Amino acid sequence: MYGQEVFDGHKWEAPYHLPTPKDWGIERFQIPISFAPQILYTGVEDIRFTPGWAKVKSEEYWTYAFLWYLDGNVKMDEEIIAENLKNYYTGLFNINTDSAKKAATKLIPVTTIFKKVKKGNGDLETYTGTIEMMDYLQLKPITLNCIVHLTRCTEENKTIIFYELSPQPFTHTIWEKLKLLWSGFTCKK
């Protein structure tokens, strides 16, 4: 890719503010996403992992959030969200699971269901739904509950899509921690 800068998520400085609680992990990468090329946006994905994200016995297992900082005014609805996340988690499973494990496991396809709900504070639109998938850490089925927030940073001409995810029910206290991430988001630092 002569003449193009290579994106480095460790060095990239976000022009927005998204809190990072103590001991949470961060990962950033460029969109289009290498493992989900069907998602045709341009921008950056910014992930926040709970300390217990990959610990099977933790209440925080598979609990994390990610923000898509997308160029332009991106159209979004429940079908688009469902299709994007189906492609995302199918690709994520495929890059994190070798072919021998795939062959030895009764695979389930990723299924996603989303619906528009009452707008959250500061959201243009809010959605909730589920992602049923194969947990590539344990090779067992898992259902992630999900809240999706949509807003825009108009001065920057960016669309913001923020995903909160956990297998815990929406009544669990972990959702308060995830909510604090979104409530702390601002378009400018």
| Per-residue model confidence (pLDDT) at position 97 | 82
96 assigned to some structural domain: yes
Domain total in the chain: 1
In angstroms, the CA 103 to CA 34 distance is 23
pLDDT in single tens digits along all 189 residues of the chain: 444 567 888 899 999 999 999 999 999 999 999 999 999 999 999 999 999 999 999 999 999 999 999 999 999 999 999 999 999 999 999 898 876 566 556 678 999 999 999 999 999 999 999 999 999 899 899 999 999 999 999 999 999 999 999 999 999 999 999 999 999 999 998
100 assigned to some structural domain: yes
12 assigned to some structural domain: no
3 assigned to some structural domain: no
| Per-residue model confidence (pLDDT) at position 23 | 97
88 assigned to some structural domain: yes
In angstroms, the CA 189 to CA 187 distance is 7
| Per-residue model confidence (pLDDT) at position 82 | 99
Show the domain range for 104.
Answer: 25-183
131 assigned to some structural domain: yes
79 assigned to some structural domain: yes
Alpha helices in 97-139 (DSSP H): 99-104
Q: How far apart, in Å, are the Cα atoms of 116 and each of 35, 138, 180?
A: 27, 31, 21
In angstroms, the CA 133 to CA 93 distance is 8
15 assigned to some structural domain: no
